[in-house]
């Protein structure tokens, strides 16, 4: 049952004493006695299972992993939460020196109950020398050392990662990339998951003609762009340019930016996007409520630590029993009322309560159908993808409370313009000592209302479709708040990443049905890309993505206005889907099971700077599934693996009646001229450059603010360059 949040004492979250944990035992079940090169992450996770006094595995227990011995060894996350089988895992990076490592694992607050796991660091890769000491773009750099990995290694030169052009385990040769910062730069080698210690060389930039093959791409920082490279113009060359700000801010800040192509004699304006039929605001009331609840959850996060142990009341969890719920009554989330819910359906993982004021809104058969969907496919999708939910109330269930109070959050008169609320999760419920906390894992949902008794009209089949997507979406929020705040004592996840992961949750539910019903099974028409059962989960993502791609300079991946507009949510989903395709969908679980947030979280789990990820993601938005181009012609880094973006957008356009099958329309950047417009943090714009006049010299690019001043380093200003012809 629940360890965390039952007895949290002390100001520091890592000092919380969980008295119930002292009766638990820990058993090692995996990852013990591994060997790996020094500096690397062990190939298998360290794994333990927690048992209670009856020998039953404990779900949602917090386990601390602690280095007992090992010079320089580090845990990627020192806290873990057990899954429904009582299993907790941690990843260990060995130190830079060979030797033994010992790790203890114990229930948080009970080190006397520790189990011990061991590992051995073997002699790893090391650099003994680098020549020459002074380098420039295009030079050949020689790296001497031991266990360097040969041509399979990756070499980092000043933050740019390159592959060797030749070498052995004792010597590597690499071509020095262009467009590095001037001065001392670090050189290091990645072999497997282990980085060598860095050596320093001096880099002197010089402008060179950048010759890219068709569909090759690169990303260059704005600070180095004008002085390091000029684009080749021969052979009918054409390029797509992607100026962008790979950054995050607490609130959007507009900057007038200019991308120049060799002069200022002609100008173009970016920022409008392709024209298409306007989309009516969707669920704006939902967005307002979400923004308010996420803000309040961030404020409440410090209150999750401390306080007396929570002892839940003995409530009967039997079908037909009733209980009270405190429910929000305004979109500001600051007013509550007490209502009575009756337990109408009970499954293995989920129980559904229905407000007694709307008893007849759903029949027992309706609830059984909905409950089975929640209990099987959607609950499993959430916990398998993101991790365990807690059990604050010790009933072993996630509760869904369906109430007309949710419908009434948006009055009927407001629905045409502001939409309505389908449901929500509120982190207050995971902090029992707070006023108006329901002290349990609860997702609130609307009820069918075909006669518009409570707000705008909602037919039963529409409600069931909407609520199914809401359930898996809000389950991610619930798990994230537990994993980040309650279990680890950290901050709530930043809005862009939190909402993006919830939209990934919806897509993962779609994938479950896509796998179950491969084409042409489960489809009402042969033209459908997705089975009927997947539609409630994937359709919103495609709409959001399309409207985002229509106006990428205006809507940010990383800097949401509130909890995210339609376009912003589409942006975050597209980025995370690309990230999952590059790193594997397990990265979504890693992003949730941590105390880190935002860009720092993404960098830690992906093992790369955010600027590199954002730059290549931006390129992939254009180069994925190019018409008439075999997918293999484009490097995997510059495309999606599990989705065909242009096919999806074309289908969305057809369904919606929009003219353009792909909404990104690059603005033409005139040779010898420039294009300018407004960007905010986390946005990009697409421009086309070429073809060029015969005899046109190489084009030097520039990316600065409109007034000619340079961007600040924190702006993350850079330009992606793709040769398309």
In the predicted model, is pLDDT for residue 470 greater than 60? yes
In this structure, are 495 and 527 located in the same domain? yes
The arithmetic mean of pLDDT across residues 87-104, rounded, is: 95
Residue 570 lies in a domain: yes
CA distances 157 to 164, 176, 614, Å, are 11, 7, 19
Q: Of 153, 186, 203, which one is at a domain's C-terminal end?
A: 203
Render pLDDT for 589-642 as a digit per residue (tens, 0 to 9). Answer: 999 999 999 999 999 999 999 999 999 999 999 999 999 999 999 999 999 999
Q: Which residues of 623-634 are buried (b: 16+ CB within 10 A; e: fewer)?
A: bbbbeeeeeeeb
Using pLDDT thresholds of 50, 70 and 90, give the confidence band for residue 556: very high
In this structure, are 261 and 372 located in the same domain? no
The H helix count followed by the E strand count for the chain is 14, 37
State if pTM tops 0.85. yes
Q: Of 103, 122, 141, which one is at a domain's C-terminal end?
A: 122
Residue 279 lies in a domain: no
In the predicted model, is pLDDT for residue 20 greater than 50? yes
Full 3-state SS string of 100-114: EEEEEEEECCCHHHC
- As a residue count, the chain comes to 725
Residue 589 · residue 81 · CB < 8 Å: no
The arithmetic mean of pLDDT across residues 56-85, rounded, is: 93
Predicted pLDDT of residue 305: 80
In the predicted model, is pLDDT for residue 18 greater than 90? no
Residue 716 · residue 232 · CB < 8 Å: no
Render pLDDT for 514-548 as a digit per residue (tens, 0 to 9). Answer: 999 999 999 999 989 999 999 999 999 999 999 99
In this structure, are 174 and 162 located in the same domain? yes
Question: CA-based angle 347:351:353, to the nearest 5?
Answer: 140
CATH number of the CATH domain containing 475: 1.10.390
Predicted pLDDT of residue 26: 97
What is the Cβ-side half-sphere exposure of residue 684, based on CA atoms within 13 angstroms? 33
Predicted pLDDT of residue 561: 82
Using pLDDT thresholds of 50, 70 and 90, give the confidence band for residue 265: confident
Could you give the CA distance from residue 142 to residue 187 in angstroms, rounded to a whole number? 11
3-state secondary structure of 544: helix
Comparing 16-30, 239-253, 496-510, the range with the smallest average pLDDT is 16-30
Could you give the CA distance from residue 75 to residue 676 in angstroms, rounded to a whole number? 46
In the predicted model, is pLDDT for residue 342 greater than 70? yes
Q: Other CB atoms closer than 10 Å to residue 324's CB: what's the count?
A: 11
Predicted pLDDT of residue 311: 81
Could you give the CA distance from residue 440 to residue 429 in angstroms, rounded to a whole number? 6
Q: Name the strand (E) or helix (H) holding 157.
A: strand 154-157
Question: CA-based angle 475:476:481, to the nearest 5?
Answer: 100
In this structure, are 60 and 141 located in the same domain? no
CA distances 712 to 241, 247, 683, 705, Å, are 21, 11, 16, 10
Could you give the CA distance from residue 479 to residue 497 in angstroms, rounded to a whole number? 14
Could you give the CA distance from residue 175 to residue 185 in angstroms, rounded to a whole number? 15
3-state secondary structure of 23: helix
Residue 540 lies in a domain: no
In the predicted model, is pLDDT for residue 189 greater than 50? yes
Predicted pLDDT of residue 207: 86
In this structure, are 342 and 420 located in the same domain? yes
Using pLDDT thresholds of 50, 70 and 90, give the confidence band for residue 3: very low
In this structure, are 255 and 112 located in the same domain? no
In this structure, are 574 and 686 located in the same domain? no
Comparing 95-109, 138-152, 178-192, 259-273, the range with the smallest average pLDDT is 259-273
In the predicted model, is pLDDT for residue 23 greater than 90? no
Residue 384 lies in a domain: yes
Residue 696 lies in a domain: yes
Q: Of 203, 228, 247, which one is at a domain's C-terminal end?
A: 203
Residue 146 lies in a domain: yes
CA distances 249 to 351, 358, 496, 573, 711, Å, are 40, 43, 11, 19, 15
Predicted pLDDT of residue 312: 82
Q: Which residue has the tokens 């607050």?
A: 109
From the list 470, 480, 545, 473, the residue with the least C-alpha distance to 502 is 473
In this structure, are 414 and 514 located in the same domain? yes
Predicted pLDDT of residue 262: 86
List of residues 6+ apart from 299 with CB closer than 8 A: none
In this structure, are 238 and 385 located in the same domain? no
In this structure, are 244 and 392 located in the same domain? no
Could you give the CA distance from residue 360 to residue 505 in angstroms, rounded to a whole number? 31
Predicted pLDDT of residue 623: 97
DSSP 8-state code for residue 519: T
Residue 326 lies in a domain: yes
Using pLDDT thresholds of 50, 70 and 90, give the confidence band for residue 4: very low
Instruction: Report the chain's mean pLDDT, rounded to a whole number.
Output: 91
In the predicted model, is pLDDT for residue 692 greater than 50? yes
3-state secondary structure of 250: coil
Predicted pLDDT of residue 12: 35
Residue 542 lies in a domain: no
Residue 246 · residue 614 · CB < 8 Å: yes
Render pLDDT for 133-181 as a digit per residue (tens, 0 to 9). Answer: 999 999 999 999 999 999 999 999 999 999 999 999 999 999 999 889 9
Domain containing 195 equals 126-203
Predicted pLDDT of residue 21: 67
List of residues 6+ apart from 323 with CB closer than 8 A: 315, 340, 341, 343, 353
Predicted pLDDT of residue 282: 44
Q: Other CB atoms closer than 10 Å to residue 74's CB: what's the count?
A: 13
In the predicted model, is pLDDT for residue 73 greater than 60? yes
CATH number of the CATH domain containing 182: 2.60.40.10
DSSP 8-state code for residue 698: P
Q: How many domains does the chain have?
A: 4
Residue 36 · residue 43 · CB < 8 Å: yes
Q: Name the percent of the chain lying above pLDDT 70.
A: 95
Could you give the CA distance from residue 575 to residue 500 in angstroms, rounded to a whole number? 8
Using pLDDT thresholds of 50, 70 and 90, give the confidence band for residue 19: very low
Q: Which residue has the tokens 């008169």?
A: 413
Beta bridge partners of 218: 721
The arithmetic mean of pLDDT across residues 460-483, rounded, is: 97
Predicted pLDDT of residue 268: 76
- Give alpha helix (H) positions in 482-565: 495-516, 535-549
Could you give the CA distance from residue 422 to residue 438 in angstroms, rounded to a whole number? 19
Using pLDDT thresholds of 50, 70 and 90, give the confidence band for residue 131: very high
**Strand ranges for 168-266 from DSSP E:** 171-175, 183-191, 194-195, 199-203, 208-210, 217-221, 229-231, 239-245, 255-261
Bridge-based pairing state of the strands 267-269 and 674-679: parallel
Predicted pLDDT of residue 267: 77
Predicted pLDDT of residue 708: 92
Using pLDDT thresholds of 50, 70 and 90, give the confidence band for residue 307: low
In this structure, are 301 and 375 located in the same domain? yes
Render pLDDT for 345-388 as a digit per residue (tens, 0 to 9). Answer: 999 999 999 999 999 999 999 999 999 999 999 999 999 999 99
Predicted pLDDT of residue 271: 59
Predicted pLDDT of residue 284: 85
Q: Which residues of 380-397 are buried (b: 16+ CB within 10 A; e: fewer)?
A: ebbbebbbbbbbbbbbeb
In this structure, are 588 and 479 located in the same domain? yes
Q: Name the percent of the chain lying above pLDDT 90.
A: 84
């Amino acid at each position: 049952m629940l360890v965390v949040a039952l007895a949290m004492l002390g100001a520091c979250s890592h000092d919380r004493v969980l008295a119930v944990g002292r009766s638990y035992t820990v058993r090692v079940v995996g990852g013990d006695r591994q060997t790996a090169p020094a500096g690397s992450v062990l190939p298998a996770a360290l794994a333990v299972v927690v048992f209670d006094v009856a020998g039953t595995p404990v779900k949602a227990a917090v386990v601390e992993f602690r280095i007992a011995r090992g010079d320089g060894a580090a845990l990627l996350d020192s806290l873990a939460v057990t899954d429904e089988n009582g299993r907790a895992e941690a990843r260990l990076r060995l130190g830079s020196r060979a030797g033994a490592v010992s790790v203890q694992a114990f229930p948080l607050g009970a080190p006397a109950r520790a189990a011990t796991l061991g590992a051995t660091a073997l002699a790893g890769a090391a650099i003994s020398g680098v020549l020459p000491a002074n380098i420039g773009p295009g030079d050949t750099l020689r790296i001497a050392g031991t266990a360097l990995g040969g041509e399979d290694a990756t070499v980092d030169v000043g933050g740019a990662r390159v592959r060797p052009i030749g070498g052995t385990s004792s010597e590597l040769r690499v071509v020095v990339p262009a467009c590095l910062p001037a001065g001392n730069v670090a050189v290091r080698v990645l072999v497997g998951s282990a980085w060598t210690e860095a050596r320093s060389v001096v880099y002197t930039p010089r402008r060179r003609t950048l010759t890219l093959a068709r569909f090759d791409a690169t990303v260059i920082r704005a600070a180095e762009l004008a002085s390091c490279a000029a684009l080749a113009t021969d052979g009918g060359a054409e390029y797509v340019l992607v100026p962008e700000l790979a950054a995050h801010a607490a609130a959007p800040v507009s900057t007038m930016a200019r991308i120049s192509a060799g002069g200022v004699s002609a100008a173009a304006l970016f920022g409008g996007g392709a024209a298409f039929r306007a989309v009516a605001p969707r669920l704006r009331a939902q967005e307002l409520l979400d923004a308010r609840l996420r803000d309040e959850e961030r404020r409440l996060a410090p209150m999750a630590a401390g306080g007396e142990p929570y002892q839940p009341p003995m409530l009967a969890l039997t079908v037909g029993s009733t209980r009270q719920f405190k429910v929000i009554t305004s979109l500001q989330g600051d007013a509550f009322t007490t209502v009575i819910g009756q337990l109408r359906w009970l499954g293995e993982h989920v129980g559904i309560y229905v407000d007694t004021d709307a008893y007849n809104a759903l029949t027992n058969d309706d609830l059984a159908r909905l409950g089975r969907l929640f209990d099987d496919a959607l609950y499993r999708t959430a916990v398998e993808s993101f991790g365990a939910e807690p059990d604050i109330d010790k009933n072993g269930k996630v509760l869904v409370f369906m109430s007309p109070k949710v419908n009434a959050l948006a009055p009927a008169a407001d629905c045409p313009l502001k939409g309505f609320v389908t449901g929500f999760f509120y982190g207050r419920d995971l902090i029992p000592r707070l006023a108006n906390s329901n002290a349990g894992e609860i997702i609130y949902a609307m009820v069918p209302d075909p006669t518009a008794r409570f707000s705008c009209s909602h037919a039963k089949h529409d409600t069931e479709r909407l609520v199914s997507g809401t359930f898996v979406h809000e389950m991610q929020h619930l798990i994230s708040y537990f994993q980040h705040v309650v279990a680890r004592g950290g901050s709530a996840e930043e809005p862009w990443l939190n909402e993006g992961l919830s939209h990934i949750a919806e897509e993962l539910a779609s994938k479950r049905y896509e796998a179950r019903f491969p084409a042409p099974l489960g489809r009402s028409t042969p033209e459908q890309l997705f089975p009927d059962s997947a539609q409630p989960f994937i359709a919103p993502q495609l709409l959001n993505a399309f409207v985002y791609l229509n106006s990428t300079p205006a809507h940010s991946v990383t800097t949401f206005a509130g909890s995210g507009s339609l376009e912003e949510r589409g942006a975050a989903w597209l980025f995370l889907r690309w990230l999952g395709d590059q790193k594997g969908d397990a990265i979504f679980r890693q992003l949730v099971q941590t105390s880190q947030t935002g860009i720092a979280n993404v960098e830690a789990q992906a093992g790369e700077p955010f600027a590199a990820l954002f730059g290549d993601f931006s390129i992939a938005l254009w180069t994925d599934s190019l018409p008439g181009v075999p997918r293999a012609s484009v490097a995997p880094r510059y495309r999606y693996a599990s989705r065909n973006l242009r096919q999806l957008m074309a289908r969305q356009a057809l369904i919606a009646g929009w003219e353009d099958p792909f909404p990104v329309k690059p603005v033409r950047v005139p040779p010898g001229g420039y294009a300018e417009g407004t960007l905010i943090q986390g946005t990009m714009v697409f421009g086309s450059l070429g073809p060029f006049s015969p005899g046109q010299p190489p084009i030097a690019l520039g990316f600065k603010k409109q007034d000619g001043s340079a961007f600040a380093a924190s702006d993350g200003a850079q330009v992606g360059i793709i040769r398309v012809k």
